[in-house]
Amino acid sequence: MNKLEQAAVEYEENGYAIIRDVVSPHLMEEVRTHVDWLINKYSELRPEHLHHPLIRDDAFWVRMIMESSLVDVGEHFLGPDIACFTAHYVCKPPVDGHAVLWHQDGAYWKLDPMQALTVWLAVDATTTENGCLRVIPGTQHLPLQKTSSRTDVPNLLFSSSDQRLVDEMIEKHGITEIELNPGDISIHHPNLLHSSEPNTSNTRRCGLDIGYISATTRILSQGVYLDPILARGNPVAGGNAYRPIPDYVEGETIPFAGCEEWNDQARRLNESSGAGSHSLSGTAPVDSAKHMVSRLQEGTTSH
């Protein structure tokens, strides 16, 4: 049984799985350089809020969501035609990194059908001390629950699942803490209850959170999860409109291995997917990211 087959068994049983050493050390060095570049470029955003609207003109970010070792995982669970509709660096700084309260990813997504997979790539070592991912195994069998606004503690989503349900599930199933090394990934089901504690340690805790969907899944949310990128395979008739893969432009992202050939590759893929035929937002990426934070505060991201 190979690593993906073993992960599929664990995912079916528990709603999550860990796969070690998925992304190469050299590529992870580029990812860390990219995170530092983003934090410097978007200094007005907290580093927990490097949301997917920033992806628009960033060729390296798109290169990462199309990384073959990650898309291979998506294909194993979702089939050969895969899109990425969200990608987000959750970067908790030392000492005051914000928590992510208990929630189900699918509660914030309006997808039909809910054929989705979260892939969480460790950029830094993630430990209990710096606020690693925590899951309640088996809760993937729960229906999606409504979330409630939470402003009593600093938290990334400004909301959480019902605490009484969470307490009941913890008593029944317990909590598993997922400690990862850079280049490891965890995957989880859209219905799985998960969270992470604040980072009060002296080390940063950063991960790249990617949402893959089958190309047959329609994105129904308005204004937040628009313009997915076809990561592999072919578009489906009557399906989502895909945004173009951006060219590598010096200053719009970091230089990366293969950036010289990137634009020719992007052009070919855009032609084959039909990307770019739909109207694109003229809003600056950072303004779109701020708007997404506002909608999280308002509790409207699933609309």
Contact 183, 22 (CB under 8 A): yes
Radius of gyration, alpha carbons of the chain? 18
Any domain includes 134: yes
Any domain includes 153: yes
Task: Please give the pLDDT value at position 238.
Answer: 87
From the number of C-beta atoms within 10 Å of its C-beta (0-12, 13-18, 19+), residue 32 rates as middle
Rounded to an integer, what distance in angstroms lies between the CA atom of residue 240 and that of residue 73? 21
pTM of structure? 0.92
Low-confidence residues in the chain, pLDDT < 70 = 222-224, 226, 276-303
Nearest to 83 by CA among 239, 189, 192: 239
Task: Please give the pLDDT value at position 303.
Answer: 45
Both tokens of 123, joined, read 């950029």
Any domain includes 169: yes
Q: How far apart are the first and last CA of the chain?
A: 41
Both tokens of 118, joined, read 């979260």
Rounded to an integer, what distance in angstroms lies between the CA atom of residue 221 and that of residue 223? 7
For the beta carbon of residue 154, count every other beta carbon within 10 angstroms. 14
Rounded to an integer, what distance in angstroms lies between the CA atom of residue 169 and that of residue 139? 7
Task: Please give the pLDDT value at position 295.
Answer: 59
Rounded to an integer, what distance in angstroms lies between the CA atom of residue 195 and that of residue 46? 19
| Domain housing 163 | 3-298
Q: Is the dihedral of CA 292, 51, 44, 203 positive or negative?
A: positive
Any domain includes 91: yes
DSSP state of 149: E
Any domain includes 303: no
Task: Please give the pLDDT value at position 15.
Answer: 99
Task: Give the number of domains in the chain.
Answer: 1
> Phi/psi class of residue 156: alpha, beta or left (left: φ > 0; alpha: ψ in -120 to 50)?
alpha
Task: Please give the pLDDT value at position 276.
Answer: 62
Rounded to an integer, what distance in angstroms lies between the CA atom of residue 295 and that of residue 302? 9
For the beta carbon of residue 248, count every other beta carbon within 10 angstroms. 22
Helix (H, G, I), strand (E, B) or coil at 26: helix
Q: Which residue has the tokens 């410097």?
A: 40
Q: Where are the beta strands (DSSP E) in 62-115?
A: 82-92, 100-103, 111-112
Can you give the CATH number for the domain in which 202 is found?
2.60.120.620
Any domain includes 259: yes
Any domain includes 22: yes
- Rounded to 5 degrees, φ, ψ at 84 are -105, 125
Any domain includes 14: yes
Task: Please give the pLDDT value at position 272.
Answer: 83
